[in-house]
Chains A and B, each alone.
Chain A
Amino acid sequence: MKKITNYILLIAAIGCFASCAKDNYDAPNATLKGRIVYNGQPINVEYNQVRFQLWESGYVNVKPIDVTIAQDGGYSAMLFNNTYKLTFPGGQGPFMTKQSGAAKDTIVVNLSGNQELDIEVLPYYMVRDAQFTASAGNIASTFKLEKIINDANAKNIDRVTLYINKTQFVSEGNNVAKTSINGADITNPNSVNLSVAIPSLVPAQNYVYARIGVRIVNVEDWIFSDVKKITF
């Protein structure tokens, strides 16, 4: 009887190992990466808040693959070689897609091997020439606000904020200090100045990361300047 048990175990073990080899699928091996850009310049957004969807054809039941855009406007996704449709869900991002309206515009991506794809969009505003300086316990900044969309879809600025944080993730939810100016109070968009006091940092460090965020009326996602590391 014991012999039989041993045989059964052996056969089961062989079966297990054999099936493992057959079950495994290939891992996705093609990288799609790029940036969200306006005229070639990346659009900075908040970490983990703006996303687009990739729809892979060839299956009965389709489910979007969400791709999240990084702070600096970059993205990357590991995929299988196939044809994908790329769309932005409604209300995503501080920008309009190139062809807007009720129809979502779709970019067809034929993926075979690694590919770089910059996605052109129309932001409502751009933060230009942001300069940060540290002096006397303050971070001061000067920058320009360029209004990109001037037609019927134009939107006003709700407020502009200078954020600083201890880490490179800088946004409304991640900051140690901020100062804001309301959109209505900006007299000269070509030269805006904001300054914020550096609070005591625990543990102490002699640098902070700073950037400018612009909140647009009735647009959920903020648009930002580049993150700058400032040593003081």
Chain B
Amino acid sequence: MKKYFSAIILSAALFSSGCVKEDDFLDKKPTDILLDEAVWKSKKLVLNVLADLYDRIPNFQSIDGYWNYGNFNEGFISRNGDRWRFQNNDWGYGEWGMWDYGYMRDLNIAIQKLGTATELEDVDRNVFLGETRFLRALLYFEMVKRMGGVPLITEPMTYDFSGDPTPLQHPRAKEADLYDFIIAELDAVTALLPDNPGDKTRATKGTAQAYISRVALYAGSIAKYGGTTPSVTLVGGEVGIPASKANTYYNKALTAAKAVQGYSLYLKKPADLADNFANIFLDKGGNPEVIFAEDYKLKSGKVHNYTIDNQPMSMTEESFGSGLNPALNLVQEFELLNNTYAPLNNTNGSDFVYYDNPLDIFAGRDARLAGTVILPGASFRGRPVDIWGGYMLADKSIISGTNFGAQKTLPGKTAPEVVVGEDGPIPGLEWSAQTGFLVRKWLDPNAGAGSLGTASDVWFIRMRYAEVLLNAAEAAFELGLPEAKDHINLVRRRAGFTTDLTAVDITFDRIVHERRIELAFEDHILWDNKRWRLAHKVWNGSAMTEADLKANMGKSDKINTQVFGLTPYKVYTPGVPATNGKWVFKIEKPNAVTGADRFRLGNYYSYIGDDVINNNPKIVRNPNQ
């Protein structure tokens, strides 16, 4: 007890000695953080700040969170914890909302400080200013496409502790004004940013122009197609853009797209266009197509698990894989090379169609199919994947197993043998290819990329030249200019199409379709369908049948509410050599798919949090609330 007592005395003594030099004690310079005055003097330190600001660019569907690719029926997620994505009937009003004025404040502070940072050289300072203003424009774009008009704050605000917060409360800007601001800012920073197409991870002139083409296109299509959903507007213009502005925006988009110079479509492997397409996303050495990317680096801490989660289960480096299974809905939309649409030919009406090789059913299609999706019978890392659902007997009954590569004895045989692929598909089995397909886009073929200790450093491309061409094509199409076909044909030739589309072929449906195919799994499907006001038609809540799946192909408003899969079966008919050993395909919904997605009109602009509205009574509620 005495010991405790002396300890207490000792600590009391320590405290009182600390109190003596009170002023010094409270006025210590921190040794673990750099202060404002120091940071904005040094080029290296500003670069550090900038690295953090770049790192905070928001993503929605990205390789950082592959499960979000399962949201819109372009893919199925094999992981058990994601079944709800296919059992839901609608999306919450708050989904994909964003109200990030914390990041906005940091950007505004950086812009303000850089404006007065006289100790930096002007050359550096201007580039930094250009980059921070670019990032701020990007953040406003991310917010406006989710929420509609948000308050436009261009300076860091400071509270004066007067007890009255009203000077900090700003109303929402009009949606059109916000788009105008973003375009004007991006325009202004092109004068500050370097013209360096070789820099893929920092903003350059080309990056800014490419983003103008995207932003102006979004604004143009909201102006043009917003009229089809009259209830999705607000009287104050916080949501909705007047139709009269459409052509101005489309012109801007087209001009900006043409101003993107120094980039070209990736074509390093013209002999194999599918590999070439897959390599766009993997090749970090002098890739002429990439405009802006979020980079990753092995052994730096900034790596991602996309390959770990999505590598084929049959060759996994961990105990799981095959997370994202592209849907048949997407796969069948890849055109035949004669520019026509056709569902996969699995049945002739009365019987299955028999194929010698599982890949044959996909023959003669757009090279981007094999570049985006690992098809049954295709290879990854030089090894064939093992996707097949079982044996089909003469009476069309199926013999299959319940685990990867399960064995059973076929009728007429004595020894058990493998009756289902090492990759599945096995209905309901986690980590099996439940749609019969695996994803190839973004998937890292390097050894070790699929192991947790190493992971992958494939970068996430936010903007690439093919999109700029498609932006130009769409803007030109909406303006009625014949050059639309030239831009779109460049992209299509790279996909293996030998017959160009003519001006007559270019329809709204074509534009929508081309973007869906070229930019699959690149975070476009939601935003595109929103701005075209197609989302409530495409995801209309009706359950789909196989006939619905095969109907209306290539139509922009074709419904896509449920995921379908295509299961390959080996035929086992020992007495009938015409069919024995051949392959047949069955169209099946993965058994977790029970809901039919319905995009409600209220989903077009996300719910503004009640806390936001409570803190700022000037905020006008969105149409859904």
Answer whether A and B are interacting partners.
yes
Contact, CB under 8 Å: A63 / B610: yes
Contact, CB under 8 Å: B623 / A173: no
Which residue of B89, B543, B610 is within 8 Å of A175 (Cβ)?
B543
How many A-B pairs fall under 8 Å by CB? 48
- Chain B 531-577 interface residues, beta-carbon cutoff 8 Å to A: 536, 540-543
Cα separation A174 to B34 with both chains bound (whole Å): 60
Contact, CB under 8 Å: B614 / A173: no
Asked whether B230 is an interface residue with its Cβ less than 8 Å from the other chain, the reply is yes
Contact, CB under 8 Å: A91 / B623: yes
Cα separation A219 to B625 with both chains bound (whole Å): 16
Q: Closest Cβ of chain A: how far from B503's Cβ, in Å? A: 33
Cα separation A62 to B231 with both chains bound (whole Å): 26
Asked whether B596 is an interface residue with its Cβ less than 8 Å from the other chain, the reply is yes
Contact, CB under 8 Å: A220 / B601: yes
Asked whether A218 is an interface residue with its Cβ less than 8 Å from the other chain, the reply is yes
Which residue of A49, A90, A102, A175 is within 8 Å of B231 (Cβ)?
A90
Cα separation A89 to B623 with both chains bound (whole Å): 8
Asked whether A135 is an interface residue with its Cβ less than 8 Å from the other chain, the reply is no
Asked whether B441 is an interface residue with its Cβ less than 8 Å from the other chain, the reply is no
Q: Closest Cβ of chain B: how far from A1's Cβ, in Å? A: 12
Closest to A102 in B: B235
Contact, CB under 8 Å: A172 / B610: no
Contact, CB under 8 Å: B543 / A173: yes
Q: Closest Cβ of chain B: how far from A66's Cβ, in Å? A: 10
Interface of B is mostly: loop
Closest to B613 in A: A62
Cα separation A178 to B536 with both chains bound (whole Å): 20
Cα separation A90 to B614 with both chains bound (whole Å): 19
On whether A89 and B231 interact (CB within 8 A), knowing A64-B610, A173-B541, A220-B601, the answer reads no
Across-interface contacts of B445 in A (CB, < 8 A): none
On whether A173 and B596 interact (CB within 8 A), knowing A61-B611, A220-B231, the answer reads yes
Asked whether B602 is an interface residue with its Cβ less than 8 Å from the other chain, the reply is yes
Across-interface contacts of A173 in B (CB, < 8 A): 89, 541-543, 595-596, 598
Contact, CB under 8 Å: A91 / B614: no
Across-interface contacts of B600 in A (CB, < 8 A): 49, 220
Asked whether B624 is an interface residue with its Cβ less than 8 Å from the other chain, the reply is yes
Cα separation A89 to B610 with both chains bound (whole Å): 14
- Chain B 567-625 interface residues, beta-carbon cutoff 8 Å to A: 595-596, 598, 600-602, 610-611, 614, 621, 623-625
Cα separation A220 to B536 with both chains bound (whole Å): 9
Cα separation A16 to B612 with both chains bound (whole Å): 36
User: A160-201 interface mask toward B, CB cutoff 8 Å, 1 = contact, 0 = none?
Assistant: 000000000000110100000000000000000000000000
Across-interface contacts of A62 in B (CB, < 8 A): 610, 614
Closest to B541 in A: A173
User: A49-86 interface mask toward B, CB cutoff 8 Å, 1 = contact, 0 = none?
Assistant: 10000000000111110000000000000000000000
Contact, CB under 8 Å: B598 / A91: no
Which residue of B89, B542, B596, B601 is within 8 Å of A91 (Cβ)?
B601
B binding-site residues for A, Cβ under 8 Å: 89-90, 229-231, 235, 536, 540-543, 595-596, 598, 600-602, 610-611, 614, 621, 623-625
Across-interface contacts of A175 in B (CB, < 8 A): 543
Contact, CB under 8 Å: A61 / B610: yes
Cα separation A64 to B624 with both chains bound (whole Å): 13
- Chain A 95-110 interface residues, beta-carbon cutoff 8 Å to B: 102
Across-interface contacts of B90 in A (CB, < 8 A): 49
Across-interface contacts of A49 in B (CB, < 8 A): 90, 600
Closest to A60 in B: B614
Interface of A is mostly: loop
Q: Lowest 3 CB-CB distances: which A-B pairs, in order? A: A63-B610, A61-B614, A173-B541
Across-interface contacts of A90 in B (CB, < 8 A): 231, 621, 623-625
Which residue of B230, B543, B623 is within 8 Å of A218 (Cβ)?
B230
Cα separation A172 to B543 with both chains bound (whole Å): 8
Across-interface contacts of A48 in B (CB, < 8 A): 89
Q: Closest Cβ of chain B: how far from A228's Cβ, in Å? A: 21
Closest to B536 in A: A220
Cα separation A60 to B610 with both chains bound (whole Å): 12
Cα separation A102 to B624 with both chains bound (whole Å): 14
Most buried by B among A62, A90, A102, A219: A90
Cα separation A91 to B231 with both chains bound (whole Å): 7
Q: Closest Cβ of chain A: how far from B405's Cβ, in Å? A: 31
- Chain A 10-55 interface residues, beta-carbon cutoff 8 Å to B: 48-49
Cα separation A48 to B595 with both chains bound (whole Å): 14
Across-interface contacts of A219 in B (CB, < 8 A): 231
Closest to B609 in A: A63
Q: A48-B89, A90-B621, A173-B542 are in contact. List 16 more A-B contacts (CB 8 A).
A: A49-B600, A62-B610, A63-B610, A89-B621, A90-B623, A91-B231, A91-B601, A91-B624, A172-B598, A173-B541, A173-B595, A175-B543, A218-B229, A218-B230, A220-B536, A220-B602
Across-interface contacts of A220 in B (CB, < 8 A): 231, 536, 600-602
Q: Closest Cβ of chain B: how far from A214's Cβ, in Å? A: 16
Q: Closest Cβ of chain B: how far from A50's Cβ, in Å? A: 11
Closest to B542 in A: A172
Cα separation A83 to B69 with both chains bound (whole Å): 45
Q: Closest Cβ of chain B: how far from A2's Cβ, in Å? A: 16
Across-interface contacts of B623 in A (CB, < 8 A): 90-91
Cα separation A40 to B542 with both chains bound (whole Å): 31
Most buried by A among B235, B601, B623: B601
Across-interface contacts of A102 in B (CB, < 8 A): 235
Across-interface contacts of B230 in A (CB, < 8 A): 218
Across-interface contacts of A60 in B (CB, < 8 A): 614
Q: Closest Cβ of chain A: how far from B122's Cβ, in Å? A: 48
Cα separation A102 to B233 with both chains bound (whole Å): 12
Contact, CB under 8 Å: A89 / B543: no
Most buried by B among A49, A91, A175, A219: A91
Closest to A64 in B: B610
Closest to B623 in A: A90
Which residue of A61, A63, A172 is within 8 Å of B541 (Cβ)?
A172
Cα separation A175 to B545 with both chains bound (whole Å): 12
Q: Closest Cβ of chain B: how far from A12's Cβ, in Å? A: 21
- Give 5 pairs: A residue, B residue, CB < 8 Å, sorted on A: A61-B611, A62-B614, A89-B625, A91-B601, A172-B540
Cα separation A48 to B541 with both chains bound (whole Å): 13
Cα separation A90 to B610 with both chains bound (whole Å): 16
Cα separation A172 to B559 with both chains bound (whole Å): 13
Q: Closest Cβ of chain B: how far from A174's Cβ, in Å? A: 8
Cα separation A173 to B543 with both chains bound (whole Å): 6
Across-interface contacts of A91 in B (CB, < 8 A): 231, 601-602, 623-624
Q: Closest Cβ of chain A: how far from B99's Cβ, in Å? A: 16
Closest to A219 in B: B231
Cα separation A64 to B610 with both chains bound (whole Å): 8
Q: Closest Cβ of chain A: how far from B591's Cβ, in Å? A: 14
Closest to A61 in B: B614
Cα separation A15 to B235 with both chains bound (whole Å): 56
Closest to A48 in B: B89
Across-interface contacts of A218 in B (CB, < 8 A): 229-231
